[in-house]
Amino acid sequence: MKIKNICCIGAGYVGGPTMAVIAQKCPEIKVTVVDINENRIKKWNDPDVEKIPIYEPGLSDIVKETRGKNLFFSTDVDQAIEKADMIFISVNTPTKTYGIGKGMAADLKYIELCARQIARVAKDDKIVIEKSTLPVRTAAALKNILDNTGNGVKYQILSNPEFLAEGTAVEDLLNPDRVLIGGDIETENGMEAVNALVDIYATWIPKENILTTNVWSSELSKLTANAFLAQRVSSINAMSQLCEVTGADVDEVARAVGKDSRIGSKFLKSSVGFGGSCFQKDILNLVYISRSFGLNEVADYWEQVIIMNDHQKRRFAANMVQTMFNTVAGKKIAILGWAFKKDTNDTRESAAIYVADYLLNEQAEIEVYDPKVTEEQIYSDLDYLGSRSGDVNRQAVTVVDSALVACEDAHAVAILTEWDEFVNLDWKKIYDKMYKPAFLFDGRRLLNSKTKKEIGFDFYAIGN
Ligand code: UDX
Ligand code: UDX
């Protein structure tokens, strides 16, 4: 089966970069990315390629190379579905905010809407691929909808979870550790669909790194991978608190531990807490699924990873207040970094949002600088929490376009994202412009403590 037309529903952090790379590597395939959000599609089509809605190193070059040739962005979802041989579903699946499973289960309403739309429009056989991270056995539900509401056409459902990390999406897509494809591998038609997708990835990825499994293993592997990664961060963050009271240094501990080849050195960086669209959501999903099967011990085990992460964010903020003589009311605090990690403009679940919220509850005044996040996004993140009115957020929080401006006349600076540019700021100049004692809280262990203390800062890093 040779694929000529691909449609991807959802032009987000996953759909956008993934389709751009497929288009680049497979010039003979026409790739159309569709989204119901007109504004987002407009930005993807902006003549100035630097204005595409997602910031990822290297992405704009690929879009420049492929857009208008074999990569297209459109809001005409029906037409793209109809023409495609293969449809990726890459819409968001946020944690439910209502009803059963509120705060835990994945909200699958967008996925279901996509399935119903495909069923309504499709006139010939399609391969439908779950790219969104989904609870285990969602593919079965998708198939049920497609088979029972469709125009009698045949569907093969594949699970192809995305393992790219934001900030390194292009690199991860070009050189993935592995690609995972789940399908109905017991049947000939299922295997044919799996192979069609294998062939696409095999254009640039060695075949031995393309794994095929049954659909459920594939779906569960994604949740498991994210749970294991997040667990490592929560594990090292738990140790960071112990380091602070015992005089150990968490980076030294991480280095010593990571040298053990059975453990490995990655994902052992202590921080103010993990964020991003996946870790929390996927673990909550795992917890919810486990509980729904009555596996309470399994659920409790994984839930602890989230509890530890919430604790880390809260204790970082609480420590700031306590250190600043138990009050930050009316004090100006500069927050450097709002994104959930460096090299992305994504702020979903970013620790910065929660730290800022805590400080605002203590009546601090906040000035934020992030190299890639917009003012509008920062206010919308705070408003979303609903802790206070939008007006109050806009009064108490100012967003500026340089680190130096944010730090001027501040009582304290908090580093909440590990942007490279923060390392080489003129810290002496910043110190001179701040109130004294000048407090510097490093939530990312980004800065050299010795040089900052020499300048005169009251310096605090997580895990020291
Ligand atoms: C992805 C995955 O799909 C999600 O499951 C994973 O856990 C996190 O990453 P992401 O690409 O980051 O999501 O989400 P987002 O940037 O929000 O993009 C989703 C897009 O889908 C949005 O632009 C939204 O407008 C679009 N969408 C949503 C549709 O086009 N149709 C819908 O019905 C719903
Ligand atoms: C993650 C997975 O890595 C990826 O495979 C999956 O497809 C989606 O979820 P992402 O959320 O984009 O990717 O970023 P990741 O690099 O995993 O970072 C997640 C969070 O953990 C960030 O807030 C990051 O700052 C934090 N983190 C990561 C740490 O605090 N310490 C670490 O050592 C590593």
In this structure, the residues whose C-beta lies within 6 A of any atom of ligand 2 are 162-166, 226, 229, 233, 267-269, 271, 274-276, 278-279, 340-341
Whole-angstrom distance, CA of residue 439 vs CA of residue 412? 4
Q: Quick one: what percent of the chain has pLDDT higher than 70?
A: 100
In Å, the largest CA–CA distance within the chain is 74
Q: Quick one: what percent of the chain has pLDDT higher than 90?
A: 94
pLDDT of res. 137:
85
Look at residue 101 and give its three-state secondary structure.
Answer: coil
Query: Could you identify the atom of ligand 1 that is nearest to the CA of residue 131?
Result: 3
| CA gyration radius, the chain | 23
pLDDT class for 152, splitting at 50, 70, 90?
confident
Contact 178, 209 (CB under 8 A): yes
Q: Which two tokens stand for residue 226?
A: 């994210």
In this structure, the residues whose C-beta lies within 6 A of any atom of ligand 1 are 9-15, 35-37, 40, 90-93, 110, 113-114, 131-133, 277-278
pLDDT of res. 105:
87
At residue 149, does pLDDT exceed 90? no
pLDDT of res. 151:
83
Nearest in space to 413 (alpha carbons), one of 309, 310, 324, 314: 324
* 273 conformational bin, left if phi > 0, alpha if psi -120 to 50, beta if neither: left
User: How confident is the model over 383-395, as a mean pLDDT?
Assistant: 97
Q: What is the DSSP letter of 95?
A: B
Q: E-assigned strands of 255-356?
A: 332-336
pLDDT of res. 438:
98
At residue 404, does pLDDT exceed 90? yes
Whole-angstrom distance, CA of residue 462 vs CA of residue 84? 50
- Please tell me the distance between residue 133's alpha carbon and the centre of ligand 1 in angstroms: 10
Q: Residue whose CA is closest, atom 27 of ligand 2?
A: 274
Q: What is the DSSP letter of 96?
A: P
pLDDT of res. 416:
98
Q: For this structure, is 436 an active site residue?
A: no
Q: Rounded to the nearest 5 degrees, what angle is found at the Cα of 368, between the Cα atoms of 364 and 373?
A: 145
Look at residue 134 and give its three-state secondary structure.
Answer: coil
Q: Which of 56, 162, 365, 418 is catalytic?
A: 162
The gap from C-alpha 344 to its chain's centroid, in whole angstroms, comes to 9
Nearest in space to 399 (alpha carbons), one of 376, 381, 415, 420: 376
pLDDT of res. 133:
86
Ligand sitting nearest the alpha carbon of 219: 1
**Pairing status of strand 5-9 against strand 30-34:** parallel
pLDDT digits (tens, 9 = 90+) for 299-351: 999 999 999 999 999 999 999 999 999 999 999 999 999 999 999 999 999 99
Pocket test for ligand 1, best of 37, 44, 45, 92 (most atoms within 8 A of CB): 92
For residue 187, the number of C-alpha atoms closer than 13 Å in the C-beta half-sphere is 9
**Pairing status of strand 458-461 against strand 439-442:** parallel
Residues in a beta bridge with 366? 333, 397
pLDDT digits (tens, 9 = 90+) for 435-463: 999 999 999 999 999 999 999 999 999 99
Report the side by side order of strands in the sheet with 86-89: 71-74, 30-34, 5-9, 86-89, 126-130, 155-159, 179-183, 210-214
pLDDT digits (tens, 9 = 90+) for 85-119: 999 999 998 889 999 999 988 899 999 999 999 99
Interacting residues of 416 by C-beta distance below 8 A, sequence separation 6+:
272, 335, 336, 337, 338, 350, 351, 352, 355, 443, 444
- Please tell me the distance between residue 234's alpha carbon and the centre of ligand 2 in angstroms: 12
Please provide the distance, in angstroms rounded to a whole number, between the alpha carbons at the two ends of the chain: 58
Q: Which of 278, 331, 367, 418 is catalytic?
A: 278
